[in-house]
Amino acid sequence: MAIATSPSKSLEDALRKRGVRVTRQRAAILKVLSGADDHPDATELHRRAKVIDDSVSLATVYRTLSVLEEAGIVHRHVFDGEPSRFETADAPHHDHIIDLDTGDVIEFRSREIEELQERIARQRGYEIVSHKLELYCRKR
């Protein structure tokens, strides 16, 4: 029987494969990122990581996020001029709805939207290399 690897352990392994040392502080940040079901900004990551390891500084969070982003382990999102928010890069492709009143970020997937984008690009002689869709919305 195979032993399941925790999401934060998988992120640690990804960092190690890239030659990045996993310190206690980085491990705390990875644990927070892997358990986040929202898209926290650096300040919120710092707040949550300090609960795990009170030696985590905001500067460490920013440096770690920079390393993680360069390594392709996290995605940085800038929604409508707000502070950058982060999510792990291991999730399947999805798009985002941003609630303008609450700031909530809701992930969604749509086969129809993906097919339409592919068709539009193909009709114009292009192949999609990457893309993101962000819908800025208000509840009715």
Residue 8 confidence (pLDDT) above 50: yes
Q: Identify whether residues 14 and 57 lie together within a single domain.
A: yes
pLDDT at res. 49: 96
Is the same domain home to 46 and 74?
yes
Q: Residue 82: which domain range? A: 7-88
Say if 1 falls within a structural domain.
no
**pLDDT over 90 at 47, yes or no:** yes
On whether both 104 and 37 belong to a single domain, the answer is no
What pLDDT score was predicted for residue 117?
96
Q: How confident is the model at residue 6 (pLDDT cuts 50, 70, 90)?
A: low
Give residue 5's pLDDT.
52
For residue 63, the domain's CATH number is 1.10.10.10
Q: What is the CATH number of the domain that holds 129?
A: 3.30.1490.190
Domain check: are 15 and 78 in the same one?
yes
- What's the confidence (pLDDT) of residue 7? 64
Mean per-residue pLDDT, 36-44: 92
4 has pLDDT over 50 = no
Q: How many domains does the chain have?
A: 2
Instruction: Tell me the per-residue pLDDT of 85-133, one tens digit each, with 9 for 90 and over.
Output: 999 888 788 999 999 999 889 999 999 999 999 999 999 999 999 898 9
Task: Please indicate, yes or no, if residue 59 is contained in any of the structural domains.
Answer: yes
Cα dihedral: 63, 64, 65, 68 (round 10): 130
Question: Hey, what amino acid is at 134?
Answer: E
Predicted structure pTM score? 0.77
Same domain flag for 45 and 105: no
Assess if residue 2 is contained within a domain: no
Alpha helices in the chain (DSSP H): 7-17, 24-35, 42-52, 58-70, 111-123
Average pLDDT (19-32) is 90
